Structure 1
Amino acid sequence: MSNIQEQIEQELTEARAVCDVSGGTSAECAAAWDAVEELQAEASHQRQVKPKNSLEQYCDDNPDAAECRLYED
């Protein structure tokens, strides 16, 4: 997770630099901020991933165990 935060910080710095050079209304500036937004969205998505509980972890390791069988009606 810290890796994506580092990437966000790097993209923020680059976006500010691009906007300072090419202007706040330029296409390059908009593209740079789009890259920042995409990384922030990915970071948000990663935070929402629910960790597996102990039964799910057990079933990943032992898919043939009786506790892990799935029956269809």
Structure 2
Amino acid sequence: MSNITTEKIKEELQQTREICDITGTGSKECSEAWNNLEQLAEEATQPDPAKPKNSLEIYCDNNPDADECRLYED
């Protein structure tokens, strides 16, 4: 996952709300702040492209039915 933390998103949300309270919800600044927050949240859900897959991940990509690759839910 990305280096963006939940805390960073919460901080950005608070700043966005403050901007909209000051400038008004229909203002350009408010709209831009919400757009920036949405982009930040989207980046947070994207996998980190710099992190290479480990050998097990590569193996499971090639052998998804292998016992080692089974996923169990709680």
Query: If the length of structure 1 is used for normalisation, what is the TM-score?
Result: 0.59
> CA deviation digits over 1:16-65, x for unaligned, max 9?
00101110000000011111001111011138xx97242578xxxxxxxx
Distance 1:51 1:32 in 2: 33
Q: Which runs of 5+ in 1 are unaligned?
A: 58-73
Larger Rg: 1
Alignment of 1:45 with 2:30, yes or no, is: no
> Counterpart of 1:19?
20
Runs of 4+ off more than 3 Å: none
Q: More helix per residue: 1 or 2?
A: 1
| Percent identity for Structure 1 against Structure 2 | 44
Query: If the length of structure 2 is used for normalisation, what is the TM-score?
Result: 0.58
Q: Aligned residue pairs: how many?
A: 55
What RMSD over aligned residues (CA atoms) do the two structures have, in Å? 2.9
Amino acid at match of 2:16: A
Q: Which runs of 5+ in 2 are unaligned?
A: 59-74
